[in-house]
């Protein structure tokens, strides 16, 4: 417990203490709303000094201390609040959050066990815990909390949450069973049935049953056409099957019902490009960038369209804009080097400069050394191409392209047997990859 001043309530009557506590509590809440956590801590410390048996005061203090980043003190304040008011689970919920921030997973699990023992039928509490744990990718713990919530509630939200978590942790059959129980209940709102149908579709997709997946994702769209997730999931399924026109049709339908979804607009633009509808695809992607100019996937899709249409200048331009906005974007310098190789005539030294930067950022990227090898081959610098290509092969021995370039180098160096050996490896790897 906090070491508080002994004279904080000096000279005040009991009624005055309560009035002053309420004033401090109100001021602290305002400070928290305005993100002045340190001030809120001070105000709550004064409040609990006035009324040391106030669970509300210690709970507010713990929340403020957590917001200020003092998690150890926050945990102690929340424990005090829990001791003073054991009938409510909120101090335990906040302790879970604080212990996650502290990285204290053992104590976090103790909190969860205590919540299960003390509040076995509090569906709202366990749903709240499940949602938080899922947000932190602690899916097994989240699933356990969702199961507890399901036992204590007939609320469809908790049952949908359970099915989502079951799908996430790979319990796809259980997810389907729980989802279809909701989807087939015509007394529930269509929103609930649509969400459940979507989960069933995703679970069937994970079980490699695309026909059932398509059926339930379509049903999810019909039941709740205002949600973009089902459209995106169905389009993604068609993308995996390389049915890009089908994906485009789904996403155009989504645009009609969810016109403000940037996720839909991005997916539509990318799939239009894959379907070789370049003009319309570029229009969609540029529309997205007008609304959300820091969307890296849009620049990648524009570069993809440019590469497919042989417009190397536009490809490089899109990637340069991405580099300007997101300089740490993964593999940006490799992507730029590959695009610059398509320009005529290629500026080889600038390409090598890009690859030098890429090698410093990720020395284990085999593409860096493969592209270096290609540049050295083009320049006739075979002695430099040789170690670059060999290192690329060391990093990714199942990729046939470096072997092909290496064979060309051996040919140029007059090493016919070594060249033949590399060509044989290319044939073997291409045959293996085709199976």
Closest listed residue to residue 125, CA positions, set 106, 165, 166, 153? 153
- Number of residues in the chain: 435
Instruction: Compute how many other C-beta atoms are within 10 angstroms of the C-beta atom of residue 48.
Output: 26
CA distances from 361 to 237, 299, 324, 368 (A): 34, 21, 17, 10
pLDDT digits (tens, 9 = 90+) for 377-396: 999 999 999 999 999 999 99
Burial letters for 49-68: b for 16+ Cβ neighbours within 10 Å, e otherwise? bbbbebbbbbbbbbbbbbbb
Closest listed residue to residue 417, CA positions, set 429, 405, 407? 407
Residue with tokens 């679970």: 203
Longest dimension (CA), the chain: 101
Tokens read off for 122? 């509090």
pLDDT digits (tens, 9 = 90+) for 346-357: 999 999 999 999
Contact 367, 341 (CB under 8 A): no
Task: Provide the residue-wise pLDDT of the chain in tens; the chain has 435 residues.
Answer: 344 444 666 678 888 889 999 999 999 999 999 999 999 999 999 999 999 999 999 999 999 999 999 999 999 999 999 999 999 999 999 999 999 999 999 999 999 999 989 998 888 898 899 889 988 999 888 888 888 887 755 677 777 888 888 888 888 998 999 899 999 999 999 999 999 999 999 999 999 999 999 999 999 999 999 999 999 999 999 999 999 999 999 999 999 999 999 999 999 999 999 999 999 999 999 999 999 999 999 999 999 999 999 999 999 999 999 999 999 999 999 999 999 999 999 999 999 999 999 999 999 999 999 999 999 999 999 999 999 999 999 999 999 999 999 999 999 999 999 999 999 999 999 887 765
Closest listed residue to residue 374, CA positions, set 338, 424, 350? 338
The structural domains of the chain, ordered by start, are: 364-435 (1.25.40.10)
What sign results for the dihedral spanned by CA atoms 192, 194, 196, 198? negative
């Amino acid at each position: 417990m906090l070491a508080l001043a002994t004279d904080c309530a000096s000279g005040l009557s009991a009624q005055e203490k309560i009035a002053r506590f309420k004033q401090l509590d109100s001021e602290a809440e305002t400070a928290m709303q305005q993100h002045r956590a340190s001030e809120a801590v001070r105000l709550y410390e004064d409040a609990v000094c006035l009324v040391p048996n106030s669970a509300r005061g210690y709970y507010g203090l713990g929340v403020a201390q957590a917001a200020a980043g003092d998690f150890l003190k926050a945990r102690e304040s929340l424990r005090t609040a829990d001791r003073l008011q054991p009938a409510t689970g909120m101090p335990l919920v906040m302790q879970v959050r604080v212990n996650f921030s502290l990285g204290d997973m053992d104590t976090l699990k103790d909190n969860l066990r205590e919540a299960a023992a003390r509040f076995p039928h509090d569906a709202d509490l366990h749903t709240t815990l499940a949602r938080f744990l899922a947000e932190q990718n602690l899916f097994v713990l989240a699933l356990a909390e969702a199961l507890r919530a399901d036992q204590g509630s007939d609320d469809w939200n908790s049952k949908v949450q359970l099915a989502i978590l079951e799908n996430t942790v790979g319990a796809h059959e259980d997810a389907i069973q729980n989802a279809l129980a909701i989807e087939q209940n015509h007394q529930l709102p269509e929103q609930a049935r649509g969400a459940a149908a979507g989960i069933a579709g995703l679970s069937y997709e994970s079980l490699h049953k695309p026909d059932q997946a398509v059926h339930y994702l379509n049903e999810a769209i019909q039941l709740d056409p205002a949600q973009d997730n089902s459209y995106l999931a169905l389009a993604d399924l068609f993308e995996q099957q390389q049915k890009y026109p089908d994906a485009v049709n789904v996403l155009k339908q989504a645009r009609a019902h969810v016109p403000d979804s940037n996720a839909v607009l991005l997916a539509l633009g990318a799939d239009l490009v894959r379907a070789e509808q370049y003009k319309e695809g570029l229009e969609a992607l540029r529309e997205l960038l007008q609304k959300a100019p820091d969307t890296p996937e849009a620049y990648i899709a524009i570069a993809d369209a440019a590469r497919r249409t042989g417009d190397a200048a536009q490809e490089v331009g899109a990637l340069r804009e991405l580099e300007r906005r997101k300089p740490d974007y993964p593999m940006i310098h490799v992507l730029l080097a590959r695009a610059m190789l398509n320009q005529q005539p290629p500026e080889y030294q600038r390409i090598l400069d890009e690859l030098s930067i890429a090698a410093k950022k990720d020395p284990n990227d085999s593409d860096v050394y493969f592209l270096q090898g290609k540049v050295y081959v083009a320049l006739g610098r075979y002695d430099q191409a040789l170690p670059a290509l060999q290192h690329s092969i060391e990093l990714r021995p199942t990729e046939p392209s470096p072997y092909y370039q290496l064979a060309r180098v051996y040919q140029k160096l007059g090493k016919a047997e070594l060249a033949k050996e590399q060509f044989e490896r290319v044939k073997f790897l291409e045959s293996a990859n085709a199976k």
